Amino acid sequence: MLQQLFSPSVQHTLDLIGIFVFAISGALLAVRKNFDVFGMAVLAEVTALGGGLFRDLVIGAVPPAAFTDLGYFLTPLLATLLVFFLHPQVERIQVAVNVFDAAGLGLFCVAGTIKAYEYGLGLTASAGLGLTTAVGGGVLRDVLANEVPSLLRWDRDLYAVPAIVGSALAALCIRYDALNPLTSSLAVITAFVLRLLAMRYHWRAPRAWHRRSTVSEEEQPVLP
């Protein structure tokens, strides 16, 4: 087992913060899709917990943390209530929400990689599950809301790439026995900063060369 990077209370607090922010993004999408409060709660729970739940099931960490820690389940409901009553105000601070979402992305991709390795997976598979931990909930959210997942859309700023970088850095630290609170924090910060830069400068992944799409640029999906 790898050494405990942070105290349990600090790790738990960071997890809840990430879960809360991810849940807000799910609840906000539900509002835009005109879902009722139950639909808001479902999208909030799925967005916040989906990636970690999938990871835990794959590595055999059962029952998953989402079902053993009441705080993990209640935090998305708290985010749902906040958005239900104050969604115009929450929409107005979308930039701040996006910043915290980027922080959650960095935290979850690194934590997911480390946990997968602790349960016996190889470095590549661990990094893959780190990525899944960070973006899996968002994919499930979009699918349930009948949207093309954001990380597959050309018109969205890079999201998966920062998580891939963070997961890969964590895996490299494990490989060279350099994983400690400092290096893991640097991996989190790297993914966080890359996501912020992608949002600031609208970095996007390239599309196929010489593509012959039948969909014109004007018909492509428009950002909400």
pTM: 0.88
Q: Quick one: pLDDT band at residue 4, thresholds 50, 70, 90?
A: low
Terminal CA-to-CA distance of the chain, rounded, Å?
44
Going from the C-alpha of 167 to that of each of 18, 51, 126, the distances in angstroms are 16, 14, 8
The amino acid sitting at 74 is L
The amino acid sitting at 220 is Q
Nearest to 49 by CA among 31, 34, 37, 63: 63
Going from the C-alpha of 121 to that of each of 27, 59, 118, 209, 223, the distances in angstroms are 33, 8, 7, 36, 37
Residues 112-130, mean pLDDT to the nearest whole number: 95
**Rounded Cα gap, residues 109 and 176, in angstroms:** 19
**Better-scored residue on pLDDT, 161 or 218:** 161
**Rounded Cα gap, residues 104 and 85, in angstroms:** 24
What does the DSSP assignment read for 133-201? HHHHHHHHHHHHTT---GGG-TTS---HHHHHHHHHHHHHHHHTT--SHHHHHHHHHHHHHHHHHHHHH
22-56 pLDDT, tens per residue? 999 999 999 999 999 999 999 999 999 999 999 99
Secondary structure of residue 5 in the 3-state scheme: coil
